[in-house]
Amino acid sequence: MVSHEDLAVRTLGPCRIDSPLAERLVARETTQHSVVEEDRILFDDTISMAGGRGLPVEQLPSLEPGGPRKRIYFDPAKTRVGIVTCGGLCPGLNDVIRGLVLELSRHYGVRRIVGFRNGYRGFVPRYGEDVVDLTPEVVMHIDDEGGTILGTSRGEQDPDEIVDALERLNINILFVIGGDGTIRGAMDVVRVVGERGLKVAVVGIPKTIDNDIPYIDQSFGFQTAMAEATKSIHAASVEARSAPGGIGLVKLMGRHSGFIACYATLAKDDADYVLIPEVPFALDGERGLLQHLRRRVQERGHAVVVVAEGAGQEYIEGEEPGRDASGNVRFGDIGRLLRKRIVEHLDAHGVENNVRYFDPSYAIRSVPANPFDSAYCLRLAHAAVHAAMAGRTEVIVARRRRRFVHMPMPLAVSRRNHVDPLGDLWLSVLEATGQPVRFE
Ligand SMILES: Nc1ncnc2c1ncn2[C@@H]1O[C@H](COP(=O)(O)OP(=O)(O)O)[C@@H](O)[C@H]1O
Ligand SMILES: O=P(O)(O)OC[C@H]1O[C@](O)(COP(=O)(O)O)[C@@H](O)[C@@H]1O
Ligand SMILES: [Mg+2]
């Protein structure tokens, strides 16, 4: 249960400097579309959850609103900013970089902005990475391309070496664009900054196509990645419907969460089965997937199976799951295993089958952001600049229930966002595919 204390935002100190945006901050008030900076946003959004706390309303857990403050902590003329992108690629990384640079330079008059190359290793001398001067001219059109102009990496780095670089370059604000690993790394940086008594704001923009960041509406890039995934599902459906016993099989990224598989299926309502890490499934047996799939192919002549890469790992034999440089699990290939088991099962029952296996893998995350994610990335970047200039630190900016908020980093990494097997998203998938609630 998230408490009031979990939502407290750290600041570097009082805001005494008039914001350059002050004249734009006309008499705002809290409405359904905006929140004044003195107000807060309730965390619970149902009567039962809020009422269940038995607390007076002002003690209910609440989040600090995002957005520009009338007074800021940093003097823009003396502020130097660093930006880093870490972890896997995600549509919109360049949009966030671009948004940060344009907001800082155009609206706050911050002139010195550098990009660190290839993730956190960009701070560490032994990698010999140069920093990149970021100006509006440099970033103006980078959002046309996928990936990140700064490069990224995985693998832990020494936070003391990162803070050494911040001190050498006299950086006052660091924006980290990354997922749970990056945010954990940023918390180590915040710890060392505090130990050294430095006044450096560290603000995160949460990133992952997996949508596994908790308590936020959706991570940027997720919508673009799932839209890209629908192309493979549609192709699988065309192939399946074009051959006797046609079976289209699509494996999608998402690591431990099945959101991409679920939403891509709902968007392109062509799939007969969706398999996700959150819902175990029996392969064999009278009520197993293979029997059900065989009957579906016999009755209908074709079928499409969408499998999230983290599903069914219990069936991967002889392969110890690897780990990447950051310690994230590297899965066995459930798509290849399913293809093998489906062909064996249908052959054994004399059912003609033509299985077409699609693994778009990196293709769904290396594309440029779609217009929704581009706009979302720009707004996240604006919120991140407002938060940092106001001296907020050890926070991520996030969109929650349609409002931009400051979420403490410890909360952002306290758990992983998963598809709820009892939730409405999974129910919609079951309704769309017609698959049984359980294969057991
Ligand atoms: N548990 C951790 N503690 C501290 N830093 C971490 C941790 N996990 C990852 N990092 C740092 O964050 C970077 C990105 O993490 P990774 O898990 O690869 O991607 P993501 O941030 O997208 O989850 C790594 O290169 C590493 O420097
Ligand atoms: O890029 P790698 O190291 O091959 O990792 C692939 C993994 O990265 C992801 O794309 C997500 O990466 P991040 O969480 O680091 O953004 C997963 O969906 C996928 O399993
Ligand atoms: Mg991660």
Ramachandran bin of 328, using left for φ above 0, alpha for ψ from -120 to 50, beta for the remaining angles: beta
186-204, pLDDT tens digit by residue? Answer: 999 999 999 999 999 999 9
Quick one: which ligand is closest to 219's CA? 2
Q: How confident is the model at residue 319 (pLDDT cuts 50, 70, 90)?
A: confident
* 160 C-beta neighbours (distance < 10 Å), count: 12
395-410, pLDDT tens digit by residue? Answer: 999 999 999 999 999 9
Residue recorded with tokens 């936020």? 216
**pLDDT, average across residues 171-188:** 98
The DSSP symbol for 368 reads P
Q: Which of 417, 412, 384 is closest to 2 using CA atoms?
A: 412
Q: What pLDDT, on the 0 to 100 scale, is given for residue 243?
A: 95
226 is in an annotated binding site: no
Q: What pLDDT, on the 0 to 100 scale, is given for residue 24?
A: 85
- Lowest-confidence segment of 25-39, 40-54, 189-203 by average pLDDT: 25-39
364 is in an annotated binding site: yes
Of all atoms in ligand 2, which is nearest to the CA of residue 86?
15
The answer, yes or no, to whether residue 321 has pLDDT greater than 80, is no
182 is in an annotated binding site: yes
Structure tokens at 105: 């330079």
373 is in an annotated binding site: no
Q: CATH topology of 17-219+369-400 equal to that of 223-366+421-433?
A: yes
The answer, yes or no, to whether residue 143 has pLDDT greater than 80, is yes
The answer, yes or no, to whether residue 34 has pLDDT greater than 90, is no
Ligand 2, from 253, 262, 309: best to mutate by most atoms within 8 Å of Cβ?
A: 253
Q: What pLDDT, on the 0 to 100 scale, is given for residue 299?
A: 96
Give the closest residue (by CA) to ligand 2 atom 4. 88
The CA 259 to ligand 1 mean position distance, Å, reads 21
99 is in an annotated binding site: no
Q: Based on C-alpha coordinates, what's the Rg of the chain? A: 24
Residue percentage of the chain with pLDDT more than 90? 93
CATH superfamily of 223-366+421-433: Phosphofructokinase domain (3.40.50.460)
209-262, pLDDT tens digit by residue? Answer: 999 999 999 999 999 999 999 999 999 999 999 999 999 999 999 999 999 999
Q: Which position has the higher pLDDT, 440 or 105?
A: 105
Quick one: which ligand is closest to 191's CA? 1
Quick one: which ligand is closest to 362's CA? 2
The answer, yes or no, to whether residue 98 has pLDDT greater than 90, is yes
The answer, yes or no, to whether residue 370 has pLDDT greater than 90, is yes
Q: Kind of pairing, strands 41-42 and 62-65?
A: antiparallel
The ipTM is 0.98
Ligand 2 binding site (Cβ under 6 Å of any ligand atom) = 87-88, 90, 154, 179, 207-210, 253-255, 309, 324, 365
Q: What pLDDT, on the 0 to 100 scale, is given for residue 329?
A: 93
**Stated length of the chain:** 440
Q: How confident is the model at residue 33 (pLDDT cuts 50, 70, 90)?
A: confident
269-287, pLDDT tens digit by residue? Answer: 889 999 999 999 999 999 9
Q: Which residues are catalytic?
A: 210
Give the closest residue (by CA) to ligand 2 atom 5. 88
The CA 323 to ligand 2 mean position distance, Å, reads 11
Report helix, strand and coil shares of the chain as percent, to nearest 5: 40, 20, 45
Quick one: which ligand is closest to 365's CA? 2
Name the amino acid, one letter, at 128: G
Domain 17-219+369-400: which CATH number of 1.20.1050.10, 3.40.50.720, 3.40.50.450, 3.40.190.10: 3.40.50.450
For the full predicted model, state whether its pTM sits above 0.95: yes
DSSP structure string for 101-130: HHIIIIIS---EEEE-SSGGGGG-GGG-PP
Of all atoms in ligand 1, which is nearest to the CA of residue 87?
19
Structure tokens at 153: 């990496």
Q: What pLDDT, on the 0 to 100 scale, is given for residue 28?
A: 78
Give 6's contacts (C-beta < 8 A, 6+ positions apart).
61, 408, 410, 411, 414
Q: Which position has the higher pLDDT, 410 or 317?
A: 410
The CA 70 to ligand 3 mean position distance, Å, reads 35
Across the chain, mean pLDDT equals 96
| Domain boundaries along the sequence of the chain | 17-219+369-400, 223-366+421-433
Ligand 2, from 96, 148, 209, 220: best to mutate by most atoms within 8 Å of Cβ?
A: 209
How far, in Å, CA of 121 to CA of 62, rounded?
A: 36
Q: What pLDDT, on the 0 to 100 scale, is given for residue 226?
A: 98
Q: How confident is the model at residue 1 (pLDDT cuts 50, 70, 90)?
A: confident
207-218, pLDDT tens digit by residue? Answer: 999 999 999 999
Q: What pLDDT, on the 0 to 100 scale, is given for residue 269?
A: 80
152 is in an annotated binding site: no
The CA 208 to ligand 1 mean position distance, Å, reads 12
Residue 160 parent element (H or E): helix 159-168
Partners of 176 in the β-ladder: 84, 204
Ramachandran bin of 202, using left for φ above 0, alpha for ψ from -120 to 50, beta for the remaining angles: beta
DSSP helix/strand/coil, 53? coil
Give the closest residue (by CA) to ligand 1 atom 4. 185
**pLDDT, average across residues 15-43:** 90
50-84, pLDDT tens digit by residue? Answer: 999 999 999 999 999 999 999 999 999 999 999 99
Residue recorded with tokens 């002050």? 22
Of all atoms in ligand 2, which is nearest to the CA of residue 181?
15
Ligand 1, from 161, 324, 326, 329: best to mutate by most atoms within 8 Å of Cβ?
A: 326
